[in-house]
Amino acid sequence: MKVKKLLALALAGAMVASISVPAFAEGEKVGVSMPTKDLQRWNQDGANMEEQLKAAGYEVELQYASNDPATQLNQIKTMIGNGASVLVIAAIEGDSLGEALDMAAEYEIPVIAYDRLIMNSDAVSYYATFDNYMVGTVQGTYVKDTLDLDNAEGPFNIEFTAGDPGDNNAGYFFGGAYDVLAPYLESGKLVVPSGQTTFDEVATPQWKTDTAQARAENILSSYYADGTELAAWVCSNDSTALGVETALAANYNGAYPIVTGQDCDIENTKNMIAGKQSMSVFKDTRTLASQVVKMVGQILNGEEVDVNDTETYDNGVKVVPSFLCEPVFADANNYKELLIDSGYYTEDQLQ
């Protein structure tokens, strides 16, 4: 058992990385590792998770890793040393946590990969996320339907901004959108003046807004300064969309293009209301947190854990049993129903 192993190692002075093992308290502790406080959505994820786990009667150790993989690695080691019975990890980089995951396996601690799949480890027990490929499909379908690509003559100019290469989800987001739009790119109805159409060409390290903005400014000055019209810019999430929108405001004089996003961050929702962003995929983190809390309870009670996908998410070592929540999109027409009426935001937050 995990407790016996930890206590034996502690008595032998053999804990890895000098992690001390305190006396084990009554009840169960859940370690929750989030990537950063720099993005709104991770603050919300962490807060929702902590609130719901505590309400379910668990002790919670919540840590944010400042987007530094080494920090996250050490924080997870500390959670193990502090007696976590289950780990919930949103990885900064999908394959940077091997040492901590080896420890978790050694101490028989189940690991739930949260939102981002943890790669190249058989210590990952479950994966809880939104349907990441569907997120991209929703974005691509929005562009297709808004431009009426099946009927309109075209051609229409389009650009792409994807996410962090270290985030396994980023490829699913981009792939989902690109696959919807690929037939129109192949037929010439959609054209990418920059020529940047592969994930590697359009990726944004750490999802940084200023990085997305700098790339967008370069594209706009190089390919659109002569008045070339831009119809759509597919951005995989809201932090990258915000950078593109800032670049457009300063460097583009045409009619505002379709701009996609994801997460319904406050600033981006304000931009949707103002007509600067067309849509954002809404992933209600309360729903995902509730599912994870349920999975934690099922694990600790020795029950069958709810999953609805046992085929899609191969982390390079195993296909990880997954639960996929379904995303929807918000725009200027339905944001009140989705975001305000549901209690996700208040009217004042979007003023």
The reply to whether 185 falls in a domain is: yes
Residue holding tokens 């859940």? 30
Query: Are 228 and 151 found together in one domain?
Result: yes
Percent of the chain with pLDDT over 70: 92
Query: Are 103 and 202 found together in one domain?
Result: no
The reply to whether 142 falls in a domain is: yes
The reply to whether 304 falls in a domain is: yes
Cα(333)–Cα(206) distance, integer angstroms: 31
pLDDT in tens, 64-80: 999 999 999 999 999 99
Q: What is the CATH number of the domain that holds 138?
A: 3.40.50.2300
Radius of gyration of the chain (CA): 22
The token pair that represents 63 in the structure block:
């840590």
Query: Are 200 and 301 found together in one domain?
Result: no
Query: Are 213 and 143 found together in one domain?
Result: yes
The reply to whether 238 falls in a domain is: yes
Residue holding tokens 């996320």? 129
The reply to whether 331 falls in a domain is: no
State residue 341's pLDDT score: 95
State residue 79's pLDDT score: 97
Cα(189)–Cα(340) distance, integer angstroms: 37
State residue 19's pLDDT score: 36
State residue 157's pLDDT score: 98
Q: What is the mean pLDDT of residues 2-13?
A: 37
pLDDT in tens, 223-267: 999 999 999 999 999 999 999 999 999 999 988 999 999 999 999
Query: Are 170 and 40 found together in one domain?
Result: no
**Residue 258 CB partners (closer than 8 Å, separation 6+):** 142, 143, 146, 147, 231, 232, 233, 278, 279
Classified as helix, coil or strand, 302 is coil
Residue holding tokens 């720099």? 38
The reply to whether 334 falls in a domain is: no
Percent of the chain with pLDDT over 90: 84
State residue 27's pLDDT score: 59
pLDDT above 50 (res 22): no
The token pair that represents 60 in the structure block:
């919670």
Mean pLDDT for all residues in the chain: 91
pLDDT in tens, 300-320: 999 999 999 999 999 999 999
Count of the separate structural domains present in the chain: 2
Q: What is the mean pLDDT of residues 268-290?
A: 94
Domain coverage including residue 70: 2-124+284-324
Query: Are 98 and 209 found together in one domain?
Result: no
pLDDT in tens, 129-152: 999 999 999 999 999 999 999 999
The reply to whether 336 falls in a domain is: no
Query: Are 110 and 182 found together in one domain?
Result: no
Query: Are 244 and 159 found together in one domain?
Result: yes
Query: Are 23 and 145 found together in one domain?
Result: no
The residue from 233, 252, 283 where one domain ends is: 283
pLDDT in tens, 190-227: 999 999 999 999 999 999 999 999 999 999 999 999 99
pLDDT above 80 (res 93): yes
pTM of model > 0.85: no
The reply to whether 332 falls in a domain is: no
pLDDT above 70 (res 9): no
Query: Are 96 and 150 found together in one domain?
Result: no
The token pair that represents 302 in the structure block:
């020795």
Query: Are 275 and 294 found together in one domain?
Result: no
Query: Are 276 and 291 found together in one domain?
Result: no
